[in-house]
């Protein structure tokens, strides 16, 4: 999504829906774990940009047990996903490798506005 249109980069502030066989990576683990069967998405939050995504997910199984972690590739939407993406005007999101951790960390820098300023506005 973000690679086709960099203007769609931003913050996922809310996500709900359902997944089939969700894949989560738990804290300090190298690989994701598949959660079999239907999972209700209780919460989805994170950031997306041209360089990747960092998404945290909480799901509940058929008896309401919840699990949370990093959302991984391989998770499949079951019925629907509703995602609210906030695209901050005038700011560009990116990722740069942190020398201390080796991880790609979020960067936020000023960018040119996507729309011309309104007449009479300060900028």
| pLDDT tens digits along 11-66 | 999 999 999 999 999 999 999 999 999 999 999 999 999 888 999 999 999 999 99
Query: In angstroms, rounded to a whole number, what is the distance separating the alpha carbons of residues 4 and 106?
Result: 19
Kindly list the domain boundaries of the chain, sorted by start residue. 6-89
Whether the pTM exceeds 0.95: the reply is: no
Structure tokens at 17: 């829906």
Least Cα distance to 20 among 80, 84, 83, 85 occurs for: 80
Class of domain 6-89 (CATH, top level): alpha beta
Share of the chain above pLDDT 90, in %: 67
């Amino acid at each position: 999504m973000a690679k086709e249109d960099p203007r769609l980069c931003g913050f996922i502030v809310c996500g709900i829906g359902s997944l089939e066989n969700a894949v989560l990576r738990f804290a300090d683990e190298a690989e994701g774990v598949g959660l079999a069967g239907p999972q209700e998405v209780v919460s989805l939050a994170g950031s997306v940009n041209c360089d990747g995504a960092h998404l945290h997910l909480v799901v509940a199984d058929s008896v309401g047990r919840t699990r949370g972690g990093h959302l991984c590739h391989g998770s499949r939407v079951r019925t629907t996903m509703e995602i609210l993406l906030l695209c901050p005007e005038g700011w560009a999101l990116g990722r740069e490798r942190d020398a201390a951790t080796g991880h790609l960390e979020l960067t936020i820098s000023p960018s040119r506005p996507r729309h011309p300023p309104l007449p009479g506005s300060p900028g």
